Structure formats: C-alpha cells, structure tokens
Amino acid sequence: MLKFKVGDKVKITSGKDKGREGTIEKVFSVAGKAVLPGLNEYKKHIKPSSGKKGGIFTIPRPIVLSKLKLICPSCSKETKVGFRIAGDVKMRFCKKCGKEITHKK
Ligand SMILES: [Zn+2]
C-alpha cells in the first residue's frame, strides 16, 4: 500500500517547486511517482504532424513520492503517514492528530 493516493494534498519538499502545495492527480505506483497539476511543469515543443497542431505545451512531470509530504485533511499540518489495520482493512492515519486519512469520492 502506498502512502499517497489520488486526491491527497501534499507539499513538495525539494526541487524547484519546493514549498509549493498541490493535489495528487495521478499516482504511478511502480515508478513511485505522482503527478500534481500545475507543479513541476516543463515546456515541450511539439512539431505539427499528421493533422495535429504543433506548438509549445506545458506538461506536468511526475514527482518522486519521497519529495512529497502529506498535508493532513483533518489537522491541516504536514505529517507522516501511518498504517493501521482495522479488521481486514488497512487504513492510513495521520501521525500528528491520529485521524484516518480518507477522501470523499
Ligand atoms: Zn492530522
């Protein structure tokens, strides 16, 4: 189980976007990376080809999960994620306030 999930609010702890906050849009569990819209972006020049328009596109580059810190939805503090087993279910919880970390879908 990963510490980060889609919809988590996180803060970047290193790199050019250090200190900025965002919400995880996509998680690549095998690569251990996440995409945060509007953060860690780079510009890509695409040449027009076979009916597609060319130009400069801004694309978010996935960020390594170790560079992210979770912001707890309950206490709004930067925190570490803990795991707790409740019956058959593994839950994530905030190590600062002890509350479960969940998102409404
Ligand atoms: Zn908390």
The domain that holds 25 is classified in CATH as 2.30.30.30
CA of 57 to the centre of ligand 1 (A): 37
Q: What pTM was computed for the model?
A: 0.83
- DSSP SS3 for 90: strand
Is residue 102 in some structural domain?
Answer: no
Q: What pLDDT score was predicted for residue 105?
A: 54
pLDDT of residue 73: 94
Domain for residue 81, yes or no? yes
Residue 2 lies in a domain: no
Number of domains in the chain: 1
What are the residues whose beta carbons fall under 8 Å from the beta carbon of 66, sequence distance 6 or more? 32
DSSP SS3 for 65: helix
Residues forming a β-bridge with 23: 9
Instruction: Reply yes or no on whether the pLDDT at 91 is more than 80.
Output: yes
Structure confidence at residue 79 as a pLDDT band (50, 70, 90): very high
pLDDT digits (tens, 9 = 90+) for 36-60: 999 999 899 999 988 888 999 988 8
Task: Tell me how far the alpha carbon of residue 95 lies from the centroid of ligand 1, in angstroms.
Answer: 7
Q: Which domain does 80 fall in, by range?
A: 9-45+57-94
Q: Report pLDDT digits (tens) over 14-25.
A: 988 999 999 999
Q: Is residue 104, in this structure, part of any structural domain at all?
A: no
Residue 3 lies in a domain: no
* pLDDT at res. 1: 78
80 versus 59: the higher-pLDDT residue is 80
Output the CA 11–ligand 1 centroid distance in Å.
14
